[in-house]
Amino acid sequence: MIADVPGARPVVDSRLAYQGKVWDVRTDRVDLGESGQVQRDYIHHTGAVAIMALDEADRVYLVRQYRHPVQAETWEPPAGLLDVRDEPPVEAAARELYEEADLRAGRWDTLVDFMTSPGGSSEGIRIFLARDLAPVPEGERHARHEEERDMEGRWVPLTEVLESIWAGDVQSPTIVAGALALDAARRSGWELLRPADAPWRRPPSLLG
């Protein structure tokens, strides 16, 4: 097996280039030893979680949301930022599933971890598998606002999601990574799953 090698190179200088509403852009000068010093501009991200919610009919719950940088409404699993200090990732995932899908899960497993763009962002994402699902009663549901107000939700067969990926019709990283990992885990008889609190080599985040 192979494994990423954690460890930061010395940072000679670091400054906040841009402070945004959700995440920041930093400019670092990094010492690469014999290769010299280089400047790197990157998004300093909070990190995030996403949830592949699977029902007994092998359907997953997806949401369609407008993503302005790519100017498209993309189909994705429910997801959210790790922007609450010291909140365990699985609790953040449960919160997002409740808020975006009106669902609660009785079983949680870790499906896959990945970095969205390690050359330009510190964002790390953990995708969970949520099963034993139950709908949130009407009177207890989260009131969605702003960009989430008109977000469409739909149950989609996993086979249809995979076909859409291979056709190039859906391209969001969480749906691609999540659906392929889910398919592999299912084919393994769920042996590839890790516990919900499995160790995570999560990149440094805005919250420290």
Catalytic residue among 73, 87, 147, 148: 148
- pLDDT tens-digit profile of 126-155? 999 999 999 998 877 767 666 666 789 999
Mark whether 52 and 120 lie in a shared domain: yes
| pLDDT at 207 > cutoff 90 | no
Mark whether 74 and 112 lie in a shared domain: yes
Please check whether residue 204 lies inside any domain of the structure.
no
> For residues 62 and 50, what is the distance between their CA atoms, to the nearest angstrom?
11
pTM: 0.93
Mean pLDDT of the 83-98 span = 95
Please check whether residue 124 lies inside any domain of the structure.
yes
Please check whether residue 143 lies inside any domain of the structure.
yes
- Our answer to whether residue 147 is catalytic in this structure is no
- Residue ranges making up the domain that contains 31: 11-44
- pLDDT tens-digit profile of 65-76? 999 899 999 999
Please check whether residue 201 lies inside any domain of the structure.
no
Mark whether 60 and 83 lie in a shared domain: yes
Mark whether 38 and 132 lie in a shared domain: no
pLDDT on residue 14 = 94
Mark whether 39 and 123 lie in a shared domain: no
Please check whether residue 1 lies inside any domain of the structure.
no
Please check whether residue 207 lies inside any domain of the structure.
no
Mark whether 133 and 147 lie in a shared domain: yes
Mark whether 39 and 56 lie in a shared domain: no
Give me the CATH number covering residue 134: 3.90.79.10
Mark whether 60 and 148 lie in a shared domain: yes
Structural domain tally of the chain? 2
